[in-house]
Amino acid sequence: MKKLNLYKIIGIFVSFALFLIIFNQLKSGEPNFKVDESLFEVYESANQWEDSMNDMIPQLQLAREIGALNSSDHLIPILANDRDLVIHDVMVINFGAVYITYSFSLKENDQPSNLPTFHIGSLRFNGTSDTDQSFLVSQQEVSNQPGKQPAVINHRIYRAEILYPNSEEADFIEEFARFSDADSVIFENVYAQIDDDKIKLENQELALESDFSNNIYAKADLNETIHTDEGDFTFTHFEAGLNTNKLYMKGNDDLHTRLVMTNATEEDFYPFERVLLKDEKGTYVALEPFRTLQETFSYKVNEVVFNKDGLISKRITNEDWEAIQNGKKVSLGDYSGLTYTVHTQSSGDGNQLVIRIDGNKDHSPKLLNQIYMESSQAYEDRLGSIPEEERESYEQQKPVLLEIKDKNKSDILIYQTSSTESPKEFRLDLDYEHFSSGLPAVMTLSNLPNFETVDVDLKGSLQLNEKK
């Protein structure tokens, strides 16, 4: 009987202790203090906060619609600090970076300057051939918008961040693009920083799921041929994906070719220039992903740029200089349908040399918006600071290069060039005294585009792919 009574007493104490634990958890789980709205941006719901992220992550709404945004609400208790951490959403976004949202429980005395943070040192993916390969990452918060306080929802501090693989670890496009179809991502070397405490956490594995393989959710067949003096090529099909849209073609494998295009579904129809790329399916042009599911697409191919190896050179004589000073334009030359002239324009410090580029009177190429100019010396200096493995990509964006030599064939220093869009002009900030005293001078423009105007419409209806 005594033992039985003892067990009853112990049972009562255990029950009471459990009651206190549960009561304290419930009490701490439902904070009743008022959040100071002068210190924090208070949202009524997580959906309201996520909507504010759409401008920071353009394809966020699309990711929701195709099931690529993985909402796990993965709980990580941090008992040492009487808090918890929840990882809410995770997905692989364009060029291989990983987007995550997470939240910490808020305490009444928390200030924006001492909020807890979550740190991830590296990551690796499961479900790929590179399961054992880890990638060091850098974190960038995208939820901390200028002029806004930290976000709080239901007494929790919310953050959205992007994890970028370090450039020496992987090339964004070629390396990380293949991880969009991984089964899961594993965060390694993770810890929580709370005040002065650095709390080490276990590695965290989160599922990466999508309704569509490789997040490619729609396609359309095309059969549109472009006729040019350099030969014909045909657009064969279009693929819509979470991180990029791809426009495939056959008949043109020259990766030096560029297309100047406009997105006909956008109000401004602003032109953009795209290089040709290759993957296992063929040659393609990479285009910006849609922001939401679309039933149709519509682009216009304005010009085809075959190469950028054109050159014109003009000897500026004393007579030319006199004409320029009298407000006249002096021709530097014509190349591939564009006319290059030089004149002066008044500025705060006097007159300034200006190079102008014009198309013919009947048609102003969209390509003009893509042209920019730099001195040859400035470009070479910048190229020399680029790591060897990154130079090929850098040289693909090589601008029109300007060089001016005086009568003794010495370089005239060009400090900087600045441009206007319409008309297309480049103002030259140069050693004006050296130029005027060094006549006759030779002005050379190189890397000029050789292009052809085509103005071909590409449009069609998208067909959803089968889900996984």
* DSSP class per residue in 182-214: -SEEEEEEEEEEETTEEEE---EEEE---SSGG
Chosen CATH of 224-307+455-464 out of 2.60.40, 3.40.50, 2.60.90, 1.10.287: 2.60.40
Residue 173 banded pLDDT, cuts 50, 70, 90: very low
| Cβ atoms of 423 and 356 closer than 8 Å | yes
pLDDT the model gives residue 244: 87
Annotate 305-327 with DSSP letters as a single string. EEEEEEEEEEEE-HHHHHHHHTT
pLDDT the model gives residue 127: 79
pLDDT the model gives residue 21: 43
Which tokens belong to 202?
């276990």
Buried b vs exposed e over 411-438: b needs ≥16 C-beta within 10 Å? ebebeebeeeeeebbbbbbbbeeebeeb
- Phi and psi dihedrals of 106, rounded to 5? -95, 140
| Cβ atoms of 449 and 311 closer than 8 Å | no
pLDDT the model gives residue 237: 97
Please tell me whether residue 381 adopts helix, strand or coil conformation: helix
Q: Is the pLDDT assigned to residue 4 strictly greater than 50?
A: no
Q: What is the pLDDT of residues 104-132, one digit of tens each?
A: 999 999 999 889 999 999 988 887 766 67
Q: Is the pLDDT assigned to residue 447 strictly greater than 90?
A: yes
Mean pLDDT for 222-241 is 95
Q: Is the pLDDT assigned to residue 297 strictly greater than 90?
A: yes
Mean pLDDT for 302-323 is 95
Residue 59 banded pLDDT, cuts 50, 70, 90: confident
End-to-end CA distance of the chain: 65
* Secondary-structure class of domain 41-210 per CATH: mainly beta
Spatial distance between the Cα atoms of 326 and 343, rounded to a whole number of angstroms: 9
pLDDT the model gives residue 261: 95
Q: Is the pLDDT assigned to residue 179 strictly greater than 70?
A: no
Q: Is the pLDDT assigned to residue 17 strictly greater than 90?
A: no
| Cβ atoms of 367 and 450 closer than 8 Å | no
pLDDT the model gives residue 2: 47
Spatial distance between the Cα atoms of 318 and 325, rounded to a whole number of angstroms: 10
| Cβ atoms of 430 and 404 closer than 8 Å | yes
The answer for residues whose C-beta is within 8 angstroms of residue 250's C-beta and 6 or more apart is 233, 234, 236, 282, 283
pTM recorded for the entire structure: 0.80
Mean pLDDT for 433-448 is 95
Segments making up each domain of the chain, as ranges: 41-210, 224-307+455-464, 308-450
pLDDT the model gives residue 22: 41
pLDDT the model gives residue 24: 52
Spatial distance between the Cα atoms of 385 and 359, rounded to a whole number of angstroms: 35
Q: If you average pLDDT over every residue of the chain, what do you get?
A: 86
Q: What percent of the chain has pLDDT over 70?
A: 87
Mean pLDDT for 327-345 is 94
